Amino acid sequence: MQLALFIIFGILAVLGALNLLFQRHPINSALSLVVVMMSLAVLYWSLGAEFLAAAQVIVYSGAVMVLFVFVIMLLNAGPEERTHGSRAAYSAGIPGAAAIFCLLSFVFLKERGVFGLTTIGGDLSNAADNIAEISQMLFTKLLLPFEVTSVLILVAILGAVVLARKEQ
């Protein structure tokens, strides 16, 4: 059951990502990205990471992507012109992407013992509540990275305010 969900939404995520690249109109691309985010949320869920799935939906699909769509609507961006990029992009980009893909899958497959394994839906069947564990981890072991990220986002907000401020 959960394996079927995993396969269906895995394929949906890949298709959404491809659609994001091939669509001409920015709003269609943004909506494809929403599909990718939602499929990822289902994948997290099928791996037992419930809280992560909900956070993915609320933060990415519900807030970040709504802002994307909002800005596209506000600027009324039309369909983009298709250009034939530079030759370097074709000659270096495709092999480069393939190389990164191969490298990542090699590392993940080779070092899977170190990363640890999870079973599909394994943690869902006994209905463990993993929010407490996540917050324990986040506020004790990973406190410094967590706080640094928050400060980083704050800096970004301040930068946006400075840029958006009208000249006196």
Partner 1 sequence: MSHLTDFEVFLLISVLKVAVVLVITLTCVAYTVLLERKVIGRMQNRWGPSRVGPFGLLQPLTDGIKLFLKEDLMPLAVERPLFVLAPMIALGCALISVSMVPFGAVTRYRGVDLFQVADVNIALLVILGITSIGVYGIALSGWSSNNKYSLLGSLRASAQVISYELALGLSLVGVVLRTGSLNLRTIVDVQSTHGLISWNFFGGFQFVAFFIYLMAAYAETNRAPFDLPEAETELVAGYHTEYSSMKFAMFFMAEYANMITVGCVATLLFFGGASSPFGHTFHFLDTPVFNAAFSIFWFVAKVFAFLFLYIWVRSTLPRFRYDQLMSFGWKFLLPLAILNIVVTSLALALRH
As measured in angstroms, the least distance from the Cβ of 67 to partner 1 is: 7
Among 69, 120, 121, 134, binds partner 1 (CB under 8 A): 69
Q: Does position 73 bind partner 1 by CB under 8 A?
A: yes
DSSP 111: T
Which tokens is 162 given? Answer: 């400075």
Contact predicate 27/73, CB 8 Å: yes
From the list 2-10, 62-70, 95-103, 149-157, the region that binds partner 1 by CB under 8 A is 62-70
How many residues belong to the chain?
168
Q: Which of residues 87-126 bind partner 1 (CB under 8 A)?
A: none
As measured in angstroms, the least distance from the Cβ of 72 to partner 1 is: 8
Question: Residue 159 phi/psi, 5° resolution?
Answer: -60, -45
**Residue 53: partners with Cβ closer than 8 Å, 6 or more residues away:** 41, 42, 44, 45
The 1-40 contact track toward partner 1, x by CB under 8 A, reads --------------------------x---x--x---x--
- What is the spatial distance between Cα 70 and Cα 73, in angstroms, rounded to a whole number? 5
- What is the spatial distance between Cα 13 and Cα 33, in angstroms, rounded to a whole number? 9
- Choice between 36 and 53, CB closer to partner 1: 53
Binding site for partner 1 (CB under 8 A): 27, 31, 34, 38, 50-51, 53-55, 57-58, 61-63, 66-67, 69-70, 73-74, 127, 129, 131-132
